[in-house]
Amino acid sequence: MNFHELIYCESSLQDVIKKEFPESVFKDASDIVTDRFSVDINIPNENIEDEFYVFAIKQGFARHCLLFELMIHTHLSKIKRWVELATVK
């Protein structure tokens, strides 16, 4: 499954993502106003969306992810599940 996200954050976060998801491919998507980058993760894992967003919540950058922000309004049950998974000890 190919997973794609646009992250509004400085590029130093790429190292954190790359450590957890070595298959990540990054592209600069910054403009004159905003630092941002896209990340593509292409691995044979149908749960990559769950894994990525649980990781993003734990690392504190989920709210910088464009698709995550959009899903807050349309897929609240998914968001709640990811938050629960991220806070399980």
H-helix or E-strand containing 24? none
Neighbours of 57 (CB within 10 A): 20
Q: Round to whole Å and give the CA distance between 60 and 72.
A: 16
The structural domains of the chain, with segments of one domain joined by +, span 2-87
Question: pTM value?
Answer: 0.86
pLDDT in tens, 17-60: 999 999 999 999 998 888 999 999 988 888 999 999 999 999 99
pLDDT in tens, 74-87: 998 999 999 999 99
pLDDT band at residue 89 using 50, 70 and 90 as cut-offs: low
Evaluate whether 51 touches 3 at the Cβ level (below 8 Å): no
